[in-house]
Amino acid sequence: MIDPPRIHSINRSLDTTDLLRGRNYSFDDSGLCAVLDHELDPRMADLVDIALAAHVVDRLEPRPGANSLTAGATWDRHFVVRLGVRDLAYWREHIDSVSSLLRGLTDDDWEFDLHPFVGGRLSSEVALRLPYARTEQPDSVGLFSGGLDSLAGAIRALNAGYRPLLLSLASNPRMAAVQRSLRKMIRRRWPQVWSASAVVNLSGREAREASQRARALLFLTTAGVVAASSGLDRVEVYENGIGAISLPYVASQEGAHTTKAVHPDTLRSVSAVVSVIAQRRITYANPSIWQTKAELCRTLEKDDWHLVPESESCDTAFSYRGAGVSRCGTCTSCLLRRQALWAAGLGQIDQRQQVRLDLLSGSHLDTSASDDLHRMLDQAAHIAEALSQPRPWAALTARFPELLQIVHSDVEERACIAMYAQYISDWLAFPSELVRRYLHPLRSAGGRPWEVAQLV
């Protein structure tokens, strides 16, 4: 039996609203106003509201079954979102493109029941503007999450002479504080750097769904709106290629079980939607798409190393409410961060950063606490085995056919192979007994021994 769709009305009226801004959630976009050339036009404001509504509904509605890598058919949901928009005729014709985007990001079915707009407007629609002059005009919008990748990507762009406008979107006060602190520290070295921020908070109801796959739409579309309203035509994502492509760790991971937040297909789709609404081309690009996290870390100069501990990559650090250390040390984000630091020659920084559970201690390697590390290394072993074959690309895509969707030339094929070979090399620098167990040495299906070092 198919479950009926969950219906959520948003900001329709004080009498019938299921979710009301100011009561159930808030969105403070006042931090965007100073960088915009003009107030948001109605369609751009509608796009932000649509993405915001999807994010709120996604967080408040738990997935119906086991929320895990093996959730299978119990993972997806069906929503009907009743929402008021400013340009009703336009969105009734174009809303399907957003629904399709959300389907790809979340695996859920999204329907929008659109009505004439009611409720309070965004700050960026109505804020009073004063004349100001920019000594250096930004050349792009750079997504700045406060994670290690976004830090390294922003610093690399600034060191290369580019002028990104660093845009942050926080979903709780702790995340906002980390982002704000890092932007302030960056500004000490590059005083002319521009930044903007927005904060979304849930209130009145408990956020019961941790996967929050729809958050990417809000972050990406807000960046596009800022770009289009600031005279810019490029949005840059600072994310290593391993994380952006996000190959499944186990066979049961399908669709949005692996995040598609900054997947190349997602960036292309968001670019197409935002460009139509903006009526000019807004390009989304990831300059690091063929680099590992460790390679990004290697671009940091010694003068930048003190910023690394201030960044945050843990999946649960911002939501952790216990006493003491916030970083878990066991999630894939924590583990990839630690691996990257060791591979980049920055193991001393990793050693100084506390985690709730240190898997390098060796006492938890065969417990459930190390499940994510086992999955990551099992995947790395399969990648390494494929790359050792006489035809590495054929072997790699046979194991991970998802790669065929994003590699479109011989140049990209070689870059992809080189990145995954570097990824295996990066793991070999991680001082864990499990690395030796999975990668020293491996045998191919034919029983031929080989050394990973031959790949790089």
Average pLDDT over residues 394-400: 97
Indicate the SS3 state at residue 171: coil
**What is the distance between the alpha carbons of residues 413 and 188, in angstroms, rounded to a whole number?**
40
**What is the distance between the alpha carbons of residues 436 and 441, in angstroms, rounded to a whole number?**
8
- Sheet holding 194-202: strands in order across? 25-28, 194-202, 164-170, 140-143, 234-237, 283-285
**Phi/psi of residue 13, nearest 5 degrees:** -165, 165
pLDDT at 209: 84
- Domain boundary assignment for the chain: 1-312, 313-455
* pLDDT tens column, 308-330: 999 999 988 887 777 777 899 99
pLDDT at 14 exceeding the cut of 70: no
pLDDT at 452: 45
* pLDDT tens column, 262-316: 999 999 999 999 999 999 999 999 999 999 999 999 999 999 999 999 999 998 8
Residue 367 φ/ψ region, left for φ over 0, alpha for ψ in the -120 to 50 degree band, beta for the rest: beta
Determine the length of the chain. 456
Q: How far is CA 324 from the centre of its chain?
A: 26
* pLDDT tens column, 17-42: 688 888 889 999 999 998 998 889 99
Q: Is the dihedral of CA 202, 207, 210, 214 positive or negative?
A: negative
